[in-house]
Structure 1
Amino acid sequence: MAVYQRRGLHGEVVHELAQRILSGRYAEGSGLDLGAIGEEFDVSRTVVREALKVLAAKGLVDARQKRGTYVRDRGSWNLLDADVIGWQLKGKNDLAFLDDLAEVRSIVEPASARFAAERRTVDDLERLDAALDAMAEAFQNGDADGHIEADLAFHHALLTATHNELLQRMEMVIEVGLAERDELVHARPSVPDPTPSHRAVLEAVRAQRPGTAEAAMRDLLEESVRDAKALTGYLHSSRRSSATS
C-alpha cells in the first residue's frame, strides 16, 4: 500500500528504476545515463528527470555538477519510506528485508500492545473487534485481499489504542511492510489461520492485562516469523522448479 502509485509511463519508469537500484543492478555510486534510460523506455528526458526527482526525494539518487546523476550509497536511502519498503518487498529483491521488518515489529508492537491494554477506550475496542471479525470472515472465504485489509486495520487500531502519536506514526513502516509481507505469504498454496493469535492480543487488551497483551503480541510475531521462513522456502523451491522446467 505504497504512497506513490504508478501513473502511466512516468510511474513505470519510477518503479523500474527503483527496482534496479534496490536489487543492485544499478550499483551504489554508479552513474545513470538519462539519454539511455529515455531510449530504453521510449520516453522523453523530461519524463526521466521527473522519475529521478521521485527517487531523489527518497534518497536513492542524487545529481551533482560534473558528476551527473548517480545512485547514492545505501546508507543514504530512506529505508523507512513507505514506497521504498514496498519496492524492496514487491520485487522480492531482498527477502532478508523481512527479517529487518520482523525485528522492528518485535521492538514496537509488544510495547504497543502493553500500552493499548492500559489506555484503550470503548471506541478502540470496537475498531479492534471489527478488524478481527473481518479477518476471520476473509480467511473463511479464502479472500486474500480482504484478509490483508483486515490485518492492516487490526494493527492500525492497536497502534491507535496506545494514544501515543509517535507510536501511531510507526504505522507507515509496519503497515506497508506488513501488507507486502501478507501478499507474499498468500502466494503460498496454504496459509495458516492468523485469527487466534490476533484474538489473544485483543482479549488481553480488552481485559486490560498489559503483560498478557505484550506476551500475546510476541507470540503473534513469532508466528509471523515462522510464516516468513516458510515463505522463503516456498519461494526458493518455486524458483528452482522454474529454472529446471
Structure 2
Amino acid sequence: MTPGLQSSRERGLHAQVVDVLGQEIVDGRLGPGSIVNLDELAVRFSVSRSVLRESLRVLQSLGMVEPRQRVGTQVLPRASWDLMSPQIIVWRGRGPEYHTQMRELLELRLGLEPVAARLSAERLDPLQAALVRQAASAMVEAGVEGDGRKYLEADIAFHSAILHGSGNAVIGHFATTVEALLRTRTEERRFTITEYTPASAARHHALADALADGDADGAFAAAQALITATVAEFDDEREAAPGL
C-alpha cells in the first residue's frame, strides 16, 4: 500500500472513530466521568494509538472529553460540550435528544433570526434579495412536487442568505448551526415535507417580499411569525411522537 493510500485510510478510520465515540457520548452510553481506555479502543476499532489520539483530540476540541493526569481521558458532561457545533447537532439529532435540541435551537432562532431579518432588509443588495426570493419560490415548487430534498436545500439557502445578509459576521456564523439543525429532519420518521409545508412556504415568501422591499419592521415581524409557526409545528410533532 502506498503512503498516500495509507494516509487516506487512516483519515477514514479517524472519522469513523470520532463519529462512533461522539454518538455514544451524546446517547449516554459513555456517560460523564467515564474513562476512555485506549487499549480497549485499539482492539475494538482495530486502529493505531495515533488514530485514537487524534480522534480524542477532535472530541476534546468539542468539549466532550478531557485528558486528566494519572486518570486518563475522561468524558465530560453536556454543560462542557460545544452545543453549537454542527457535528454535535448531528449526533444529538440522531438520538434521544432530538426533540430537546430542536426546542433549544428553535428558541434561539426565535430570538436571533428576526433581528437578522431586520438587518438584512436594510443591507441586502438587489442580487442577494433576488436569491432569497428564488429560494422561497423553490420551496413552493418543492412542496407542490413533494420533493423533500429540494425543499430542504432551498430552506437552507433561504435562511443562510438572510443570516449572512445581515452584515453581522457573528450572526452569519450561525448559518452553519441552522443548516445542521435543518438537516437533522431528513431522517425518514421526521422528513421535511409535511402537512405544514404549503403554509410554511407562504410565510417564507412573505419574509422574502419584506426583504426585497427593504421593509425592516415587516421583515422582523415576518421572520418572527415564521419561526413561531415552526415552534408550533415542532410541538405538534413532539406530542405525536411515540413515547413522548
TM > 0.5 between the two? yes
- The 3 A distance-change label for structure 1 pair 139 and 94 is closer
- The residue aligned with 1:50 is 54
1:202 to 189, 197, 208: 208
Q: 1:89-129 CA distances to partner (integer Å, 9 max, x unpaired)?
A: 12343421111101110111011111112222101111102
* 1:231 maps to 2:237: yes
- The 3 A distance-change label for structure 1 pair 97 and 218 is same
CA distance in 2, matches of 1:160, 1:77: 25
Structure 2 contact 152–192 (Cα < 8 Å) conserved: no
- The 3 A distance-change label for structure 1 pair 189 and 207 is closer
- The residue aligned with 1:3 is none
CA distance in 2, matches of 1:35, 1:109: 46
* 1:192 maps to 2:197: yes
CA distance in 1, matches of 2:134, 2:48: 48
SS in 2 for 1:39: helix
Shift of 1:133: 2.1
CA distance in 2, matches of 1:205, 1:229: 28
CA distance in 2, matches of 1:182, 1:223: 19
Task: For 2:205, give the aligned amino acid.
Answer: R
Q: Which runs of no fewer than 5 residues in structure 1 stay unpaired? A: 1-6, 241-245
CA distance in 2, matches of 1:210, 1:187: 29
- The 3 A distance-change label for structure 1 pair 49 and 41 is same
- The residue aligned with 2:228 is 222
1:33 to 19, 29, 37: 37
CA distance in 1, matches of 2:213, 2:118: 12
The root-mean-square deviation of aligned C-alpha atoms, in Å, is: 2.2
Q: Which runs of no fewer than 5 residues in structure 2 stay unpaired? A: 1-10
Q: 1:187-219 CA distances to partner (integer Å, 9 max, x unpaired)?
A: 786453221010111111122222221111111
In the alignment of these two chains, the number of paired residues is 232
- The 3 A distance-change label for structure 1 pair 37 and 231 is farther
Task: For 2:197, give the aligned amino acid.
Answer: P
Percent identity among equivalent residues?
33
Shift of 1:81: 1.4
SS in 2 for 1:62: strand
* 1:64 maps to 2:68: yes
The TM-score with structure 1 as length reference comes to 0.85
- The 3 A distance-change label for structure 1 pair 182 and 210 is farther
CA distance in 2, matches of 1:188, 1:195: 11
